Amino acid sequence: MTPPTVAVVGGGQLARMMAGPATALGLHLRVLAEGPDVSAAQAVPDAPVGVPADVDAVLALVEGAQVLTFEHEHVPAPVLDAVAARGVPVHPTPAALVHAQDKAVMRRRLTELGVPCPRWAPVADLADLERFRDAAGGRAVVKTTRGGYDGKGVRVVGDGPVPADVVAWCAAAADGSGPALLAEELVPFTRELAVLVARTPSGRSTVWPVVESVQRDGVCAEVVAPAPDLDPATAAEAERVARTVADGLGVTGVLAVELFEVPGPDGAAPRVLVNELAMRPHNSGHWTIDGAVTSQFEQHLRAVLDLPLGDVAPVARWTVMANVLGSTLDDLTDALPAVLGADPGARVHLYGKAVRPGRKLGHVNVSGDDLEDVRARARAAAAVLRGERPGDGGTA
Ligand code: ADP
């Protein structure tokens, strides 16, 4: 018996969380791991060690596989082309993936598709940035077009002198020694939303309910599903935007569309602007593991294999996901007796990663009918995993 093999580039928690659904569906998962003990390698027996830029390592990974997919976007295009040349399907395809790899390519294409985005422009040097900022009302957000994650390639520039690190980014972009840059207007958003869609190569798609994603220091801290008090017209618009992007870019697998909610004109329903895209399971969809009939990880596997997609209905009125970002514990499993004992309804997910300040080490999902109760319980459980004693406060 040879079950279908899904090859995944990346051995982090996103690949790890594909292991459960792959097992349930009888699929064979093979992950390209950064080291022998990384998060996914602890859960997936077939986890060769290698780097995504090593074409031989990736070709060995896809040997006998039905499909190659990813848990991060940082795979060089020539490597993907080499895989495609071997006849192994790559999902998302390189042509779609580039929109999650390069923010300037993404902005240009979304603008062509008529998808609402913040005002933006490419930035070739410091003078370009200063011109954009002045035209945008004295403030701007500057971003590296490639390589950023968790806010690491994002800086706000106010109306004073441009900060030294941004000056250095501009110099590196101008002489080609660093990534290209773009500038965006500083969007006066009321909150951040996210919408996840899964799409198959044959063009079928499903969309989970729109969620609110709460960021702290550029990192997702909490997700509330569905987004509370979301105007139905805004929800419909967010869903339309997600489907337009998925169809327009030909995305296959899970696509996360991160959105800014901004006030509508003259009391109209709030509008959404696209912030960025991820073409893989995403932190804003971790709630689906316990809060939806089909999780984003299972749906991603189904989608890249062009299998029928699962039901995305929520299983409870509310689900709150609280991330565990850093901990004072050396080993989070030490807190299992306390966290599981305090709340039998809390669904704990640990990633097996070494503790570092602010690092994503796990998350907790809690579902129920009362949002305040669900949120408080998710925060309390995450706090215990961060090493705080129960009753210490429990604010995420
Ligand atoms: P990354 O790719 O590192 O996740 P993002 O583009 O998502 O970076 O930006 C990180 C955070 O910075 C966003 O979640 C948002 O809070 C803030 N941000 C990004 N772009 C803008 C913008 N144009 N206006 C206001 N805030 C922004």
Whether residue 215 has pLDDT greater than 80: yes
Would you say the CB of residue 118 lies under 6 angstroms from ligand 1? Answer: yes
Mean pLDDT score, 33-50: 98
208 SS3 class: coil
What is the DSSP secondary-structure string of 156-174? EE-SSSPPHHHHHHHHHHH
What domains appear along the chain, each with residue ranges and CATH number? 5-90 (3.40.50.20), 119-184 (3.30.1490.20), 191-385 (3.30.470.20)
Burial class from Cβ neighbours inside 10 Å (0-12, 13-18, 19+) for residue 275 reads: buried
The alpha carbon of residue 228 and the mean position of all alpha carbons in its chain are separated, in whole angstroms, by 20
Least confident of 97-101, 151-155, 234-238: 151-155
Given a contact cutoff of 8 angstroms between Cβ atoms, the answer to whether 254 and 281 are in contact is yes
Reported as a single tens digit per residue, the pLDDT across 249-306 is: 999 999 999 999 999 988 899 999 999 999 999 999 999 999 999 999 999 999 999 9
CA distance 100 to 257: 10
Would you say the CB of residue 186 lies under 6 angstroms from ligand 1? Answer: yes
CA distance 337 to 328: 16
Looking from the CA of residue 186, the nearest atom of ligand 1 is 24
Structure tokens at 31: 């992950």
Whether residue 23 has pLDDT greater than 70: yes
Structure tokens at 260: 């800014």
Mean pLDDT score, 242-250: 98
Mutate to test the pocket of ligand 1, among 107, 154, 191, 217 (most ligand atoms within 8 A of CB): 154
At 390 the pLDDT is: 58
At 147 the pLDDT is: 82
Would you say the CB of residue 151 lies under 6 angstroms from ligand 1? Answer: yes
220 SS3 class: strand
Average pLDDT score over the chain: 95
Distance in Å, CA 218 to ligand 1 centroid: 7
At 152 the pLDDT is: 82
CA distance 350 to 380: 16
At 394 the pLDDT is: 45
Reported as a single tens digit per residue, the pLDDT across 354-370 is: 999 999 999 999 999 99
Name the packing angle between helices 126-135 and 164-175 (round to 10°). 120
At 333 the pLDDT is: 98
Mutate to test the pocket of ligand 1, among 101, 119, 132, 141 (most ligand atoms within 8 A of CB): 141
Structure tokens at 93: 């395809």
Reported as a single tens digit per residue, the pLDDT across 330-342 is: 999 999 999 999 9
Q: 360-368 and 318-325: which strand pairing?
A: antiparallel
Residue 190: partners with Cβ closer than 8 Å, 6 or more residues away: 261, 262, 263, 270
Q: Give the residue whose CA is nearest to atom 8 of ligand 1.
A: 151
Structure tokens at 105: 């390519």
Phi, psi of 326 (to 5 degrees): 75, 165
CA distance 219 to 241: 23
Structure tokens at 24: 């349930």
CA distance 208 to 267: 27
At 54 the pLDDT is: 97
Of 64, 14, 16, 57, which is closest to residue 37 (Cα–Cα)?
16
Distance in Å, CA 248 to ligand 1 centroid: 23
Mean pLDDT score, 169-176: 94
At 100 the pLDDT is: 94
SS3 content of the chain, % helix, strand, coil (to 5): 35, 25, 40
The b/e string for 157-173 (b: 16+ C-beta within 10 A; e otherwise) is beeeebeeebeebbeeb
pLDDT above 90 coverage of the chain, percent: 93
The b/e string for 68-104 (b: 16+ C-beta within 10 A; e otherwise) is bbbbbbebeeebbebbeeeebbbbbbbebbbbbbbbb
Given a contact cutoff of 8 angstroms between Cβ atoms, the answer to whether 295 and 288 are in contact is yes
Whether residue 391 has pLDDT greater than 80: no
Reported as a single tens digit per residue, the pLDDT across 81-119 is: 999 999 999 999 999 999 999 999 999 999 999 999 999
Q: Give the residue whose CA is nearest to atom 15 of ligand 1.
A: 218
Q: Give the residue whose CA is nearest to atom 9 of ligand 1.
A: 151
Least confident of 28-37, 46-55, 154-163, 186-195: 154-163
At 1 the pLDDT is: 73
Of 37, 19, 35, which is closest to residue 352 (Cα–Cα)?
37
Whether residue 392 has pLDDT greater than 70: no
Distance in Å, CA 7 to ligand 1 centroid: 30
